[in-house]
């Protein structure tokens, strides 16, 4: 099997699982308890908080654990809307966000908020001048993803952060695809809130975090106990949080070695597809691109059919986001980038990890070539 869907989720690293196991078996005490077994869990949670904060240059008191990227996005946007509604009710985001952001914004529109969805260019980049033009007196939040999960385009987050700060507007970024994948520093980028998720970096599913800059007021998300400094109630997912901490530390420790290796493999795959399969188009920016992302549209090919036939050959790929693949509508990201429906439907995404090999790329190109030819042939006849 060749697994090329690492933007959807990743295999949990063995050291992550090992670190988690004691918190399922012997160290099961409630972190809120006074006895030693409970405080062991509490210590482990804070240790994970420290590790995760270190990855993005934050203070550990600025990290809040959640159930994943979707919850962090929901909390950042709904929380900001609730906390700042006296100041204004206008939010700026983009057309290519993950649904965790887009549908939260749609929900807020029903509650009386106004949302501007910025266009992107042909390569999926937000234009700063569009953002600048969209800012109003009553704008309370800008939410722009760090990198897109479908096409891999990396946004100019630092520039957006600078603009947001000049205008005094809160800035949130969904960094689920960049955290642990490329260097991310909240001070350099000027972000106030940042979402990340453990299962995208070889950690467990169902745990994530929201970075919240010290001093930023954000309405609590879950009401109940005083966990997460009273802002996110509920007994902590101790094993998950421990796993997230180890995964984050592991990813950032390997970054320097992994990023160039992955990029090289990515560019090798792109080069071979472009030179060996006619009528194809690389989606997303060629260089401002996540190290593991490859996304192509093939003319006169149905992406879904391509995926099914690749699966029969043991190759796991996807057509954009995992959440989109069951809804058969063409990708909202590709449409926003100006592709027509046919081009959008003829696209597939291959996302690599540090574990993939050149041999796997060779097999993938070989299979892809044959399947694309086959699908075009039956379409013609």
Ligand X SMILES: *Cc1c(COP(=O)(O)O)cnc(C)c1O
Active site residues per annotation: 323
- For ligand X, which stretch binds (CB under 6 A), given 10-18, 65-73, 273-281, 304-312? 65-73
Q: Cβ of residue 97: shortest distance to ligand X, in angstroms?
A: 8
Q: Cβ of residue 337: shortest distance to ligand X, in angstroms?
A: 16
What is d(CA 283, CA 289) in angstroms, rounded to the nearest whole number?
A: 10
- For ligand X, which stretch binds (CB under 6 A), given 172-180, 237-245, 258-266, 278-286? 172-180
Q: Of 189 and 301, which has the nearer Cβ to ligand X?
A: 189
**Contacts with ligand X, 178-197, as mask; x by CB under 6 A:** -------------------x
**Which residue of 93, 177, 227, 353 would you call a contact of ligand X, by CB under 6 A?**
177
Q: Of 193 and 280, which has the nearer Cβ to ligand X?
A: 193
**Which residue of 5, 27, 174, 228 would you call a contact of ligand X, by CB under 6 A?**
174
Q: Are 334 and 281 in contact (CB under 8 A)?
A: no
Longest dimension (CA), the chain: 74
**Which residue of 4, 45, 100, 157 would you call a contact of ligand X, by CB under 6 A?**
100
Question: Does the footprint of ligand X cover residue 120 (CB under 6 A)?
Answer: no
Q: Of 92 and 176, which has the nearer Cβ to ligand X?
A: 176
**Residue where the block lists tokens 């449409």:** 335
**Contacts with ligand X, 143-162, as mask; x by CB under 6 A:** --x---x-------------
Q: Of 100 and 140, which has the nearer Cβ to ligand X?
A: 100
Dihedral sign for Cα 238, 13, 267, 307, please.
negative
Which residue number places its CB atom closest to ligand X? 69
Q: Cβ of residue 128: shortest distance to ligand X, in angstroms?
A: 21
β-partners of residue 316 are 3
Question: Does the footprint of ligand X cover residue 70 (CB under 6 A)?
Answer: yes
Query: Token pair for residue 60?
Result: 């550990």
Q: Of 66 and 277, which has the nearer Cβ to ligand X?
A: 66
**Which residue of 29, 40, 180, 208 would you call a contact of ligand X, by CB under 6 A?**
208
- For ligand X, which stretch binds (CB under 6 A), given 25-33, 161-169, 174-182, 209-217? 174-182
Question: Does the footprint of ligand X cover residue 10 (CB under 6 A)?
Answer: no
Please work out the total of residues on this chain that contact ligand X, with binding judged by CB under 6 A.
15
Q: Cβ of residue 200: shortest distance to ligand X, in angstroms?
A: 6
- For ligand X, which stretch binds (CB under 6 A), given 15-23, 53-61, 171-179, 292-300? 171-179
Enumerate residues 6+ apart whose C-beta is below 8 A from 126: 94, 118, 120, 144, 155, 156, 160
- For ligand X, which stretch binds (CB under 6 A), given 29-37, 64-72, 349-357, 360-368? 64-72
Question: Does the footprint of ligand X cover residue 68 (CB under 6 A)?
Answer: yes
Per-residue CA distances from 96 to 143, 265, 286, 306, 332 (Å): 11, 26, 17, 24, 7
Angle between helices 99-110 and 69-84 (to 10 degrees): 30
Query: Token pair for residue 124?
Result: 């999926």
Q: Count Cβ neighbours within 10 Å for each residue of 231-263 and write b for 16 or more, e otherwise.
A: bbeeebbbbbbbbbbbbbbbbbeebeebbeebb
Question: Does the footprint of ligand X cover residue 98 (CB under 6 A)?
Answer: yes
Q: Cβ of residue 234: shortest distance to ligand X, in angstroms?
A: 16
**Which residue of 69, 152, 204, 303 would you call a contact of ligand X, by CB under 6 A?**
69
**Where on the chain is the footprint of ligand X (CB under 6 A)?**
68-70, 73, 98, 100, 145, 149, 174, 176-177, 197, 199-200, 208
């Amino acid at each position: 099997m060749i697994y090329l869907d690492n933007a959807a989720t990743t295999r949990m690293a063995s050291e992550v699982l090992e670190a988690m196991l004691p918190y399922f078996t012997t160290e099961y005490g409630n972190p809120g308890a006074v006895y030693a077994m409970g405080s062991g869990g509490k210590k482990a949670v804070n240790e994970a908080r420290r590790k995760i904060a270190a990855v993005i240059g934050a203070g550990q008191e600025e990290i809040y654990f959640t159930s994943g990227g979707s919850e962090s996005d929901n909390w950042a946007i709904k929380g900001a809307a609730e906390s700042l509604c006296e100041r204004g009710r206008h939010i700026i985001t983009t057309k290519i966000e993950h649904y965790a952001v887009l549908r939260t914004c749609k929900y807020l529109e029903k509650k009386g908020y106004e949302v501007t969805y910025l266009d992107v260019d042909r390569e999926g980049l937000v234009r700063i001048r569009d953002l600048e033009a969209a800012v109003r007196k009553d704008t309370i939040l800008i939410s722009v993803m760090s990198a897109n999960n479908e096409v891999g385009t990396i946004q100019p987050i630092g520039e957006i952060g600078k603009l947001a700060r000049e205008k005094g507007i809160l800035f949130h970024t969904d960094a689920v695809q960049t955290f642990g994948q490329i260097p991310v520093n909240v001070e350099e980028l000027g972000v106030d809130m940042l979402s990340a998720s453990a299962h995208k970096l070889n950690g467990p599913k169902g745990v994530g975090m929201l970075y919240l800059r010290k001093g930023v007021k954000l309405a609590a998300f879950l009401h109940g106990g005083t966990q997460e400094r009273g802002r996110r109630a509920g007994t902590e997912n101790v094993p998950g949080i421990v796993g997230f901490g180890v995964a984050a530390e592991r990813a950032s420790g390997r970054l320097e070695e992994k990023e160039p290796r992955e990029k090289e493999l990515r560019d090798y795959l792109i080069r071979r597809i472009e030179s060996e399969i006619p009528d194809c188009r690389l989606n997303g920016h060629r260089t401002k691109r996540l190290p593991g992302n490859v996304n192509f549209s093939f003319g006169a090919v149905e992406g879904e059919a391509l995926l099914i036939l690749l699966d029969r050959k043991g190759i796991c790929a996807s057509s954009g986001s995992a959440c989109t693949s069951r809804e058969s509508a063409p990708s909202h990201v590709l449409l926003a980038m100006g592709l027509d429906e046919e081009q959008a439907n003829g696209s597939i995404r291959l996302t690599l990890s540090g574990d993939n090999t050149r041999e796997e790329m060779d097999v993938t190109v070989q299979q892809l070539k044959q399947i694309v030819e086959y699908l075009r042939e039956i379409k013609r006849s």
